[in-house]
């Protein structure tokens, strides 16, 4: 066991810290220090500017090979970068659904031509990808989806019909990756294909709608006889083979549920800010409930536990001891931790908690954690059945 | 011993319930949300909107029914009723998420003025619905429906239960005095509450004695507790209906044990908060020496029950509940806001602890 | 609404208080102020002595008619008596399974002859009744029980075979009431009969065994061709008709789940003692976690809420507005409240919590609350399905 | 960066695990419970008993394997190993509910004496298993296995982290001095811990400096945290097995979502407590300035995870878990006792709060 960082890693951290501090300040200044939510029209443009700043320095996707727009960083350096990113107060990544959900699948299932085209344009935020999983009648029960793609050999492509919904940032993206039923006779998780779809096709309509906090974070995407030509993207629009959609998607889904989307850096930074908030407010102890200190410390410890657990997981992974279905525990932990950290902050803020601020907005965002990427109820089922071995039926 | 409301009290409740279900459906609550984008660029209440006139109509309908003067003495033009008479009405205004300062106007300020002589001569307008009142408490500075209220009272406590004061806020950069602060709605969780942030203010006189001030605060906390019970019931009703209809994995999600247990917990919290709220109303109405303690017990139970309802009903809805197009958020945000208004659960438990001498 | 007690009720309370104080002190003195658990051999005898003291004053079953050993008290007076009983520190009633579970069924389904025989002997603790519901393979799933009673017309009685278990205080009782399968072809809740069984029959073996706290609170009862003659009890050994056992039993079960077994007095008294414990210990504030005060108050408020809810329920009941399945909420509330009150006390006690004392023993006892009389998981199902109307399947 | 144990550490753990699974099965844990009835008339550990000799044998087997001297310097006859070497062994002693003062002897007192010179000349006996040591901490007065230990240390803190002291308890009505107090076991939740209540005592000398005392306490808290993780895993294993077998309503109870979720919560708590425990071991082993903070974080997580395990595994068992004939109670009571020993979760969180300067 060695829980220290090497000199090179410390060097990497110092560079990232210096860079982030300078570039974040410059970015904010460019926008008159008035940064809007990345899930609004004006805010999205501000965030694209930030994404391109990250890309120019090779920080958009640190762990990718340099050839496709990354920096070739190790898993450990990725963790370090994330720690520094959130410590510096870096914003939510508006490109994250591409970089953290689609890209791992492209690395695993994409042809060299697909990889060469898709990844650099994704890292540089030229192409902006949203996820087309959920449908009005297929939320937690993903296998029940019904959007369909019919093969048109004559024209050389697919005819898409159906509807996707709860598509995060769909109104601002250029491309969608998602599952479509290509075998009309199939049921459940068979006969699906993973397709890559430019959103500017004729017959595709995107309608943004408000998330809980009013930000236009969601979209409905309607497909009405939209024709998707095979050459819409170099290397083709099918990822991983026709009819193979479910297993290809599950690889992405397990990325979503696993480590990549939610590095401990984000929660440790939130916990540190919570500690600071408490320290500030406890100068007037009468105003604070005495039980709050315990809750603050509890949150800080839980974030720290998440960090230790991640270091263990990354080590295990590097040494070939895979965590497998255990990623369900990870999703449960961070999503409930995030709610607890924000709820504690709101209780510290008292009446002020009602006003929009980083904590109240963050609380609303945190409430989505136990819902998306497989509800926590489903995660508990998975954990009990696949890890503990309890009987399914 | 009889722990039940009278037939008259139930009939009044039913009349108000009927009125609100007709005149204050979700589209009216939604119509009270400000149009356009907020300072963050978000369109918070987006969705189908009702005619804004309907928002005003609910209030005048309530006035016509006598509801706004329920706690005002008859010689001031009210119904001269007690907390046990209006607590169920407050619950219904919560169930409907009524977009008006019902608690502040009808439960707090009007009876306070009725009791202390109405020196400013506004009581008639409060009762007939042409004027709305606001109240800030516990050194707070957020005025709900602050763009509409034109009579504002501060209820504060310094140094224990004997230190209560009620003051009319008039000067300084208070409401209405300063164009910049006036009608500028703060960006807030529940935009339907039309929060206005109060700047430095001054008061010209104290309304009544410490006891009257304490009772005014307690009525505010009691009315809010009742609204929270109503809001919790609304969220529960919405969710039970949804869970019976929404199918995933080939069955209604309501057949899943996890969903059943989440909602049973919501129902349990509400079922035990409600009697405590009613008992507190009785303690207030009868001038019990334990009235403040009972109100605080009720508010803490109602705040906790509402928060359980917020968390569990959202979770049972899943993504659809997490949108502003669906109605749940209207009630959820009101409940979250009111769970902290007039003292949060922990504040009220500390007050109960003081009363228990620990 | 009128939440005051009448002058008569206050008088009743004052008499009960004076009587309890005097008689409890006398009882303890008779046993050298060393009262053992009622679930041990020696302790049970002490508690029988107390039960008979109660009976002599008409306090054993206050709400029963005087003819059968009660005092004809109203439901309100019963609540008052219970408040005073627990406030005075009265012990758990070792006769409670008879008085609170069997007796309501006897009142509802028993013949006049059965009532006249069973009830006075129960009130006076001459006959001591235990409940024979659970079997090794029928705990939560009561309808799956398999103990059987075969009719023997020739001898005029029933031949019993099978096994009951987790029978509270079975080792100290004289009689058992329970369900037996009388139609061998029947399944689930059909073909059962509610039988009253003296435990001294040939072929009946009772083996006491230790509960979590080591007290011999449980027994297994084995039936091996035990012959139960029809005239073992005046009025017969069948309660409510052959084959009607399930519906008769459900009446008792709903008593168990409802108001009668767990009056608010017990929890309000525990909450008051918790407040006193905190007051005492907080004289040395360094030793106490500052969050404990909030938990103490929370417990006190929850007990108070239970009291208000009970007053409302008794009123509704008296005025014909039945609570029905809502008793599931009641069971959930008091059982989880009881655990919370005791857990808070243990946290106040700190290291001392490990030692046997009223709180640590009470905590172990409280842990049974969420399990017995229908687990809390089953109660939540019932509440969701029967009260909220969620679909069963 | 490498967050994993070495092959040697895993192999040592596996050897101890094997030994304990053979030599310390439930019947041996049960055999350590006192016979007969307690002062309340209860027979707490009732059930099948193993030969009492087997209880003693486990300890000497551990000594033979070198486990008792794991943290003692090699020139004192030990293995000279660090916290990262023994933390997994402690976890296994928890999994087995070993009825001996492993943490006190091998993790606390032996390394303390090894470090401070063994002035009393008892280290050899501690390492070879012929003598057991006890420790009381934080002004406590309950000595675990107090009928057997013959060397007792008090670890107390007065006024912050610099105020730690380690003292050998020798005089007064301490252990062994007074026939009345000696070997009189207190009636307690977990009778298998053989608690002895210490009366007024005196100490003849201080062992080492404040830093050595603090580290001794931290090792006690760390070893106990590891045992709690082991105990939690044992309760979980027992319950998963039971839930897969036990049938009600025609299906194994483990198919019920409520049971799945209860046990998923137990597993989650343990999965996140364990790495914190291992990281704290590393902090101790490397003399990190955050060692005490990390130990306290670990102990609070382990205490909470164990309590969730206690509640949820009992609930999933139902009535059978609520009997002394079934094995669950052996682990459940040990876990409940250890969750408060060496500082409960709230105590340790206060210590972390101090370290965070809030």
| ipTM for the assembly | 0.96
Which tokens go with C375?
Answer: 């687990």
Distance CA C195, CA C186 (A): 17
Q: Residue D5's pLDDT is what?
A: 98
Catalytic residues of C: 256
Nearest CA in chain B to D260: B258
From A305, A319, A381, residue closest to D275, measured CB to CB:
A305
Distance CA D111, CA D135 (A): 13
From C166, C210, C346, residue closest to D46, measured CB to CB:
C210
pTM reported for the whole predicted model? 0.96
Angle between helices C75-87 and C292-318 (to 10 degrees): 160
Look at the alpha carbons of D221, D222, D226, D227 in this order and tell me if their dihedral is positive or negative.
Answer: negative
Q: Which residues of chain C have pLDDT under 50?
A: 256-258
Which tokens go with A248?
Answer: 């290809």
Look at the alpha carbons of A295, A301, A304, A309 in this order and tell me if their dihedral is positive or negative.
Answer: negative
Task: Determine how many CB atoms are found less than 10 A away from the CB of residue C132.
Answer: 28
Distance from CA of D88 to the nearest CA of A (A): 13
A393 interfaces chain C, CB cutoff of 8 Å: no
Compute the count of residue pairs across chains C and D with CB atoms less than 8 Å apart.
Answer: 138
Which tokens go with C331?
Answer: 């069971």
Q: Residue A263's pLDDT is what?
A: 86
Q: Over chain C, what is the mean pLDDT? A: 93
B346 interfaces chain C, CB cutoff of 8 Å: yes
C291 interfaces chain A, CB cutoff of 8 Å: yes
Report which of B318, B327, B225 is spatially closest to residue B269, judged by C-alpha positions: B225
Distance CA C176, CA A323 (A): 53
D291 Cβ partners below 8 Å, 6+ apart? D215, D218, D280, D283, D284
Interface of B with A in 135-164 (CB under 8 A): 138, 140-142
Distance from CA of C6 to the nearest CA of B (A): 7
Distance from CA of A382 to the nearest CA of C (A): 20
Q: Residue B48's pLDDT is what?
A: 47
**Cβ <8 Å between B1 and C6:** yes
Which tokens go with C149?
Answer: 């009673």
From the number of C-beta atoms within 10 Å of its C-beta (0-12, 13-18, 19+), residue D288 rates as middle
Q: Mutating which of B36, B38, B42, B344 best tests the A interface, going by the most A Cβ atoms within 10 A?
A: B42
- Write down the number of H helices and E strands in chain A: 12, 7
Distance CA B12, CA A342 (A): 41
Residues B280, B219: contact at Cβ < 8 Å?
A: no
**Cβ <8 Å between A332 and D2:** no
Q: Which residues of chain D have pLDDT under 50?
A: 47-48
The number of CA neighbours under 13 Å toward the Cβ of C264 is 24
The number of CA neighbours under 13 Å toward the Cβ of D173 is 11
Of the candidates A256, A280, A343, A377, the residue annotated as catalytic is A256
D245 interfaces chain C, CB cutoff of 8 Å: no
From C41, C347, C377, residue closest to D346, measured CB to CB:
C347
Nearest CA in chain C to D46: C210
Could you give the 3-state DSSP secondary structure of residue B194? coil
Report chain C residues whose CB lies below 8 A from the CB of B286.
3
Report which of C87, C156, C169 is spatially closest to residue C130, judged by C-alpha positions: C169
Nearest CA in chain D to B260: D258
Higher confidence at residue B197 or residue A335? A335
A42 is catalytic: no
Residues B153, B213: contact at Cβ < 8 Å?
A: no
Could you give the 3-state DSSP secondary structure of residue D32? coil
Q: What is the DSSP letter of A130?
A: E
- CA angle at residue C338 from C3 to B358, to 5 degrees? 70
DSSP bridge pairs for C176: C130, C197
Could you give the 3-state DSSP secondary structure of residue B290? coil
Q: Residue D197's pLDDT is what?
A: 87
Nearest CA in chain B to D255: B257
Q: Residue A91's pLDDT is what?
A: 95
- Bridge-based pairing state of the strands D251-252 and D164-172: unpaired
Report chain C residues whose CB lies below 8 A from the CB of A289.
294
Query: Tens of pLDDT along A279-324?
Result: 999 988 777 888 899 999 999 999 999 999 999 998 998 898 876 6
Hey, which chains touch C, using 3+ CB pairs under 8 Å?
A: A, B, D
Query: Tens of pLDDT along C281-297?
Result: 998 877 788 889 999 99
Domain range summary for chain D, segments of one domain joined by +: 213-355
**Cβ <8 Å between A293 and C294:** no
Q: What are phi and psi of C37, to 5 degrees?
A: -60, 140
Q: What percent of chain A has pLDDT over 70?
A: 97
> pLDDT category, A327, cuts 50, 70, 90?
confident
Torsion of CA C300, C302, C304, C310, to 10 degrees: -150
The number of CA neighbours under 13 Å toward the Cβ of C202 is 3
Domain range summary for chain A, segments of one domain joined by +: 7-94, 129-245, 258-387
Distance CA D200, CA D177 (A): 11
Query: Tens of pLDDT along A115-164?
Result: 999 999 999 999 999 999 999 998 888 889 999 999 999 999 999 999 99
Write the class of the CATH domain A129-245.
mainly beta
Task: Determine how many CB atoms are found less than 10 A away from the CB of residue A188.
Answer: 13
pLDDT > 90? residue A205: yes
- Bridge-based pairing state of the strands C129-132 and C175-181: parallel
- CA angle at residue D210 from D206 to D213, to 5 degrees? 70
Distance CA C359, CA C354 (A): 10
Distance CA B303, CA D187 (A): 42
Q: Residue A257's pLDDT is what?
A: 45
Query: Tens of pLDDT along D9-44?
Result: 999 999 999 999 999 999 999 989 887 666 666 666
- CA angle at residue B351 from B346 to B354, to 5 degrees? 125
Compute the count of residue pairs across chains A and B with CB atoms less than 8 Å apart.
Answer: 138
- Locate all alpha helices (DSSP H) within chain A, ordered by sequence: 7-30, 41-56, 75-87, 96, 103-109, 112-123, 245-257, 264-281, 292-318, 327-349, 358-366, 376-382
Residues C361, C291: contact at Cβ < 8 Å?
A: no
Look at the alpha carbons of B184, B188, B191, B193 in this order and tell me if their dihedral is positive or negative.
Answer: negative
Distance from CA of B191 to the nearest CA of A (A): 10
Residues D68, D62: contact at Cβ < 8 Å?
A: yes
CA distance from start to end of chain C? 41
Q: Residue A187's pLDDT is what?
A: 87
Q: Residue B236's pLDDT is what?
A: 98
pLDDT > 80? residue B51: no
**Among the four given CATH numbers 3.20.20.60, 1.10.375.10, 1.20.140.10, 1.10.357.10, the one describing domain C258-387:** 1.20.140.10
**Cβ <8 Å between D44 and C210:** yes
Q: Mutating which of D254, D255, D258 best tests the B interface, going by the most B Cβ atoms within 10 A?
A: D258
Q: Residue B178's pLDDT is what?
A: 59
Q: Mutating which of A351, A359, A390 best tests the B interface, going by the most B Cβ atoms within 10 A?
A: A351
Higher confidence at residue B173 or residue D154? D154
Q: What is the CATH number of domain B213-355?
A: 1.20.140.10
D209 Cβ partners below 8 Å, 6+ apart? none
Query: Tens of pLDDT along B263-276?
Result: 999 999 999 999 99
Q: What percent of chain B has pLDDT over 70?
A: 92
Report chain D residues whose CB lies below 8 A from the CB of A306.
272
């Amino acid at each position: 066991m060695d829980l220290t960082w090497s000199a090179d890693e410390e060097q990497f951290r110092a560079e990232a810290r210096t860079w982030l501090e300078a570039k974040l300040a410059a970015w904010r200044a460019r926008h008159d220090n008035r940064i809007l939510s990345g899930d609004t029209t004006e805010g999205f443009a501000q965030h694209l500017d930030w994404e391109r700043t990250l890309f120019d320095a090779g920080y958009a996707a640190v762990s990718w090979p340099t050839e496709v727009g990354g920096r070739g960083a190790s898993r450990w350096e990725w963790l370090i970068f994330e720690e520094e990113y959130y410590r510096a107060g870096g914003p939510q990544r508006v490109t994250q659904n591409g970089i953290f959900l689609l890209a791992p699948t492209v690395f695993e299932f994409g042809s060299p031509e697909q990889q060469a085209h898709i990844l650099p344009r994704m890292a540089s935020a030229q192409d902006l990808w949203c996820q087309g999983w959920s449908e009005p009648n297929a939320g937690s029960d993903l296998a029940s989806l019904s959007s369909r793609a019919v093969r048109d050999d004559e024209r050389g492509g697919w005819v898409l019909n159906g509807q996707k919904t709860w598509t995060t940032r769909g109104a601002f993206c250029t491309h969608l990756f998602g599952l479509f039923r290509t075998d009309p006779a199939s049921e459940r998780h068979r006969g699906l294909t993973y397709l890559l779809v430019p959103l500017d096709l004729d017959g595709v309509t995107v309608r943004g709608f408000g998330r809980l906090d009013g930000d236009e974070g969601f979209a409905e995407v309607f497909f009405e006889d939209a024709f998707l030509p095979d050459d819409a993207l170099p290397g083709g629009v099918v990822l991983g083979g026709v009819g193979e959609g479910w297993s290809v998607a599950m690889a992405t889904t397990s990325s979503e549920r696993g480590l990549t989307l939610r590095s401990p850096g984000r929660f440790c930074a939130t916990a540190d800010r919570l500690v600071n908030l408490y320290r500030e407010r406890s100068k007037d102890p009468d105003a604070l409930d005495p039980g709050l200190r315990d809750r603050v410390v509890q949150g800080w410890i839980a974030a720290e536990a998440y960090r230790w657990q991640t270091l263990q997981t990354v080590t295990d992974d590097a040494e070939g001891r895979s965590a497998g279905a255990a990623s369900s525990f990870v999703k449960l932990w961070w999503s409930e931790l995030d709610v607890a950290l924000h709820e504690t902050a709101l209780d510290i803020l008292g009446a002020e908690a009602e006003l929009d601020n980083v904590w109240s907005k963050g609380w609303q965002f945190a409430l989505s954690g136990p819902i998306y990427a497989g509800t926590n109820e489903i995660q508990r089922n998975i954990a009990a059945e696949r890890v503990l071995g309890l009987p399914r039926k | 011993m009889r722990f039940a409301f009278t037939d008259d009290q139930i009939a009044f409740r039913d009349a108000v319930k009927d009125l609100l279900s007709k005149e204050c459906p979700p589209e009216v609550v939604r119509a009270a949300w400000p149009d356009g984008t907020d300072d963050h660029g978000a369109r918070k209440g987006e969705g189908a909107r009702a005619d804004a006139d309907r928002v005003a109509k609910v209030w005048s309908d309530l006035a016509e029914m006598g509801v706004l003067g329920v706690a005002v003495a008859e010689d001031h033009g009210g119904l001269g009723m007690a907390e046990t008479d209006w607590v169920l009405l407050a619950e219904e205004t919560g169930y409907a998420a009524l977009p008006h300062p019902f608690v502040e106007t009808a439960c707090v300020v009007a009876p306070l003025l009725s009791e202390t002589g109405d020196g400013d001569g506004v009581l008639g307008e409060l009762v007939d619905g042409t004027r709305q009142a606001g109240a800030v408490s516990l050194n707070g500075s957020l005025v709900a429906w602050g763009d509409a209220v034109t009579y504002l009272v501060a209820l504060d406590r310094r140094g224990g239960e004997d230190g209560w004061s009620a003051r009319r806020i008039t000067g300084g950069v208070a409401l209405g005095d300063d164009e910049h602060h006036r009608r500028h709605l703060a960006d807030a969780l529940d935009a339907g509450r039309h929060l206005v942030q109060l700047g430095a203010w001054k008061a010209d006189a104290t309304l009544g004695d410490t006891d009257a001030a304490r009772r005014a605060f307690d009525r505010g906390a009691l009315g809010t507790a009742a609204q929270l019970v109503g809001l919790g019931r609304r969220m529960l009703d919405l969710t039970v209906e949804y869970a019976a209809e929404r199918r995933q994995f080939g069955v209604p999600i309501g057949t899943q044990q996890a969903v059943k247990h989440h909602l049973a917990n919501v129902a349990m919290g509400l079922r035990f908060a409600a009697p405590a709220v009613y008992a507190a109303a009785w303690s207030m109405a009868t001038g019990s020496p334990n009235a403040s303690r009972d109100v605080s017990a009720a508010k803490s139970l109602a705040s906790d029950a509402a928060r359980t309802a917020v968390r569990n009903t959202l979770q049972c809805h899943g993504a659809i509940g997490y949108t502003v197009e669906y109605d749940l958020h209207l009630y959820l945000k009101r409940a979250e806001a009111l769970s902290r208004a007039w003292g949060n659960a922990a504040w009220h438990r500390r007050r109960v602890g003081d009363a228990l001498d620990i």
